[in-house]
């Protein structure tokens, strides 16, 4: 079976992790925390990055930051078809505080379609931007259109992505990324929040570590244990040392897929917005008139290719059924899209085989 993803771990990640273990600093203190955080900030082009235990808590901290500096902001515009953590982060301790407005997807980009919003955004409107599969939304362009509103980014799928020649996430109030095992940069688990707002960074840094004051064991705000360990930071540093190498490997894979699958009747690829660059996280295809993902999964399993579905529309999640939404395009994408193996060590032979099987499946769908 060709796996959909496996982590790319250069020797430096293992060497630094061993050094962290050998030092005895295996918990949330140690030299790799600052080194990795500083290097990450430099790559992302921001003032501050805060390393945390996973991408979901990073996204939760975005909303803690909103409550801290924008307490009157209540309306959240978010895409219908995104990974569930984006919605859960809104609801964790704010169930009755925010009004959630899901918007349906765009059939070409598979991201939120901002052309027909349910209301005119104002200064109390939050745009939670999610870059599906790493297809980057042009946030600076949206900010120009809605200058009064607040922008935050769930950039968990977007590291390596760019808009207007800047790294995705860098132009919002604050952003979150994930270092889960299937991400371009991975620590197994782990994540980060990053921002150019120093006051926000200081607040999030405090509450992510139990809300402790300068006097040890004295706490003056409700805090969380969202800290990354020194071992995870050591693995992260090793990944960041090979940032360009990983990026180049992913670029080659995406270029190969696009070359082999472009201009085939019935097969559609994600369209990029102007002045953006895909993060090259996951590569997907939309197979027109595919009966369902379950049908395509059965076929690809039979030929030894692991796949996954496009994210489900919001109404499919029982705890979110109370949120009204238009699910038409999101449902179509969930039925017709197949997400393909995208890990950095895929070989040319594997890529050609995968594309041959996609073309074969598409031909059978079209005949039917």
pLDDT the model gives residue 9: 87
pLDDT the model gives residue 360: 96
pLDDT the model gives residue 305: 98
pLDDT the model gives residue 218: 86
How far is 42 from 39, CA to CA, in rounded Å?
5
pLDDT the model gives residue 55: 97
Ramachandran category for residue 114: left, alpha or beta (phi over 0 → left; psi -120 to 50 → alpha): alpha
How far is 127 from 239, CA to CA, in rounded Å?
30
Contact 15, 6 (CB under 8 A): no
How far is 165 from 139, CA to CA, in rounded Å?
12
How far is 264 from 268, CA to CA, in rounded Å?
8
pLDDT the model gives residue 95: 62
pLDDT the model gives residue 192: 98
pTM for the full model? 0.96
pLDDT the model gives residue 294: 96
| CB-neighbour burial class of residue 161 (10 A; exposed 0-12, middle 13-18, buried 19+) | buried
- Angle at alpha carbon of residue 70, lines to 116 and 73, rounded to 5°: 35
pLDDT digits (tens, 9 = 90+) for 136-192: 999 999 999 999 999 999 999 999 999 999 999 999 999 999 999 999 999 999 999
Ramachandran category for residue 161: left, alpha or beta (phi over 0 → left; psi -120 to 50 → alpha): beta
Picking from 316, 44, 278, 63, the residue whose alpha carbon sits closest to that of residue 166 is 44
Which residues of the chain have a pLDDT value below 50?
Answer: none
Contact 299, 254 (CB under 8 A): no
């Amino acid at each position: 079976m060709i796996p959909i993803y496996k982590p790319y771990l250069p020797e430096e990640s293992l060497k630094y992790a061993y050094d962290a273990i050998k030092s005895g600093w295996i918990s949330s203190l140690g030299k790799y925390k600052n080194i990795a955080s500083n290097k990450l900030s430099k790559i992302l082009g921001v003032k501050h990055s805060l390393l945390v235990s996973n991408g979901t808590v990073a996204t939760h901290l975005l909303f803690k930051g909103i409550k801290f500096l924008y307490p009157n902001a209540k309306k959240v515009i978010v895409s219908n078809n995104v990974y569930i953590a984006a919605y859960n982060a809104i609801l964790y301790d704010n169930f009755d505080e925010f009004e959630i407005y899901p918007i349906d997807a765009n059939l070409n980009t598979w991201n939120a379609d901002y052309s027909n919003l349910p209301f005119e955004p104002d200064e109390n409107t939050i745009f939670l931007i999610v870059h599906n599969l790493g297809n980057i939304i042009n946030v600076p362009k949206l900010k120009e259109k809605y200058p009064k509103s607040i922008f935050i980014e769930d950039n968990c799928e977007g590291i390596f992505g760019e808009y207007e020649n800047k790294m995705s996430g860098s132009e919002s109030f604050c952003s979150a990324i994930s270092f889960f095992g299937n991400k371009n940069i991975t620590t197994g688990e782990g994540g980060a929040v990053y921002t150019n707002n120093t006051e926000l960074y200081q607040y999030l840094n405090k509450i992510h570590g139990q809300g402790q004051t300068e006097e040890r064991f004295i706490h003056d705000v409700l805090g969380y244990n969202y800290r990354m360990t020194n071992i995870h930071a050591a693995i992260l540093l090793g990944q960041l040392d090979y940032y360009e190498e990983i990026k180049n490997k992913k670029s080659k894979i995406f270029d190969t897929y696009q070359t082999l699958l472009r201009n085939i009747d019935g097969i559609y690829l994600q369209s990029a917005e102007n002045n953006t660059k895909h993060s090259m996280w996951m590569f997907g295809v939309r197979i027109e008139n595919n009966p369902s993902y379950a049908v395509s999964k059965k076929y690809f399993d039979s030929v030894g290719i692991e796949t996954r579905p496009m994210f489900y529309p919001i109404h499919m999640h029982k705890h979110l059924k109370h949120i009204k939404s238009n699910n038409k395009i999101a449902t179509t994408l969930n039925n017709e899209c197949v997400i393909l193996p995208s890990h950095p060590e895929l070989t040319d032979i594997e890529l050609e085989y995968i594309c041959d099987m996609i073309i074969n499946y598409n031909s059978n769908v079209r005949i039917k």
